[in-house]
Amino acid sequence: AQTVTQSQPEMSVQEAETVTLSCTYDTSESDYYLFWYKQPPSRQMILVIRQEAYKQQNATENRFSVNFQKAAKSFSLKISDSQLGDAAMYFCAYRYRGGSNYQLIWGAGTKLIIKP
């Protein structure tokens, strides 16, 4: 069975600095998607970034980038120039690309605190 592990329940970073959130996963499949979602306090969960496993290039969205290490089954999120609005719960998620099951497998989440 696939699993997703986020080993850091909470992280803090000074505003304007860089922080990396860790995620590891376990799967026997070779074709899948990985996601980072953000859930700000009392606000809706939104997609931050996604990575297709067949792509070697790491995905980037403005200040957010990933370090995808397929052999190590690692998918970390780097946030550069942290801003107060980045404070949120961050969830890593996995989905197998094949079949008709659209289920995401979720990590437990990392709470990111931004210090002004």
Partner 1 sequence: DVKVTQSSRYLVKRTGEKVFLECVQDMDHENMFWYRQDPGLGLRLIYFSYDVKMKEKGDIPEGYSVSREKKERFSLILESASTNQTSMYLCASSLRGFSTDTQYFGPGTRLTVL
The residues that touch partner 1, with contacts defined as CB under 8 A, are 4, 6, 9, 33, 35, 43-47, 50, 91, 95, 97, 100-104, 106-109
Phi, psi (degrees; rounded to nearest 5) at 86: -80, -10
Closest to partner 1 by CB, 37 or 68:
37
Q: What is the rounded distance in angstroms from the CA atom of residue 6 to the CA atom of residue 21?
A: 8
Q: Which of 8, 1, 14, 3 is nearest to 76 (CA)?
A: 8
Q: What is the rounded distance in angstroms from the CA atom of residue 62 to the CA atom of residue 2?
A: 30
Closest to partner 1 by CB, 99 or 116:
99
Closest to partner 1 by CB, 33 or 64:
33
Considering the complex, what minimum distance in angstroms separates the CB of residue 107 from partner 1? Answer: 6
> Does residue 92 sit in helix, strand or coil?
strand
> Does residue 38 sit in helix, strand or coil?
strand
Considering the complex, what minimum distance in angstroms separates the CB of residue 42 from partner 1? Answer: 8
Closest to partner 1 by CB, 98 or 116:
98
Considering the complex, what minimum distance in angstroms separates the CB of residue 15 from partner 1? Answer: 26
Considering the complex, what minimum distance in angstroms separates the CB of residue 60 from partner 1? Answer: 17
Q: What is the rounded distance in angstroms from the CA atom of residue 19 to the CA atom of residue 88?
A: 13
